[in-house]
Amino acid sequence: MYIVINGIRYHVEVCGDGLVPLVLLHGFTGDSTTWANFHEWRGQYTKLIIPDIIGHGKTDSPDELSRYHIEAAATDLKDILDQIGVKQVDLLGYSMGGRLALTFALLFPESVRKLILESSSPGLATEDESQQRRMKDAELAKFITEKGISAFVDYWEKISLFSTLKRLPLVSQHKIRQQRLKNSQKGLANSLLGMGTGSQPSWWGKLKELTCEVLLITGAEDQKFCDIADRMMKELKNSTWIVVEGSGHVIHVEDPKKFGTIVSDFLSNENI
């Protein structure tokens, strides 16, 4: 379905049934289809709400950079849930989607029952780090604008963060590439500038304010985000951290069965 929020047309998949819906938020260059494997695993038990984040998939890619700010995107998500008629959700976000999920949980704590962050972070701790990251993201946005989506995806596939995806069957790698290529050139560039890790507020000082249960999931071969999760655990009050052996950054794609089991157990309050 499509839902219009303040002039932006959002594409949102809604399926399944359950008392507390689960919202799935994809990462940078992704869209709602990247949750397909998990959709099959969890959709029979839970109502799933899966939006294409602004600038991605079938959702609009506006020119106005302020619409991509992570607080604006979180407010849009709240408006989407209001239009659907949902008051409280469980929230699962991967990478960029995890930063958006955390932002939503901090801005609208009454709307979140449980929060799951896969390979994600609260942003950067210092302004110097943020400034350096904004410069890098601006260079990458310029690359997308000048060279186009195909050249960018060629580059993106080769970064070390996604090296473990090379273990997937070639047909799966091709499917991931084709999905990335469908994104808007303007949408990805503006997402980097407006919602990049360096552009968002740092939430490190706010983690103690979270009252909902939080689950952190990282891949054992993704050392950077394991280190981030270790630091987050020292700040969070009510949290669990699970490291998935044999996985890298994109656990829900690399090991969907294990990922689905972890999430299902957490949502149903079973031991994990």
pLDDT tens-digit series, residues 97-142: 999 999 999 999 999 999 999 999 999 999 999 999 999 999 999 9
With a threshold of 0.75, does the pTM exceed it? yes
Coil, strand, or helix at residue 243?
A: strand
Asked if 197 and 204 touch (Cβ cutoff 8 Å), the reply is no
Asked if 141 and 218 touch (Cβ cutoff 8 Å), the reply is no
HSE (side-chain half, CA atoms, 13 Å) at 179: 21
Q: Across the strands, what pairs with 25?
A: 93
Q: What is the pLDDT of residues 167-218, one digit of tens each?
A: 999 999 999 999 999 999 999 999 999 999 999 999 999 999 999 999 999 9
Query: Is 1.10.760.10 the CATH classification of the domain at 2-125+201-267?
Result: no
Asked if 125 and 202 touch (Cβ cutoff 8 Å), the reply is yes
Alpha-carbon gap, residue 109 to 32, rounded angstroms: 24
- % helix / strand / coil in the chain, to the nearest 5? 50, 15, 30
Q: What is the pLDDT of residues 52-109, one digit of tens each?
A: 999 999 999 999 999 999 999 999 999 999 999 999 999 999 999 999 999 999 999 9
CA angle 271, 33, 114 (to 5 degrees): 30
Question: Both tokens of residue 105?
Answer: 């949980």
Sign of CA dihedral 38, 44, 45, 48: positive
Sign of CA dihedral 68, 73, 79, 84: positive
Give every CB contact of residue 128 below 8 A, 6+ residues apart in sequence: none
Question: Which band of pLDDT confidence, cut at 50, 70 and 90, is reported for residue 45?
Answer: low
Domain ranges in the chain? 2-125+201-267
Query: Residue 170's CB: how many other CB atoms inside 10 A?
Result: 8
Asked if 124 and 130 touch (Cβ cutoff 8 Å), the reply is yes
Q: What is the pLDDT of residue 41?
A: 62
Alpha-carbon gap, residue 26 to 186, rounded angstroms: 18
HSE (side-chain half, CA atoms, 13 Å) at 192: 20
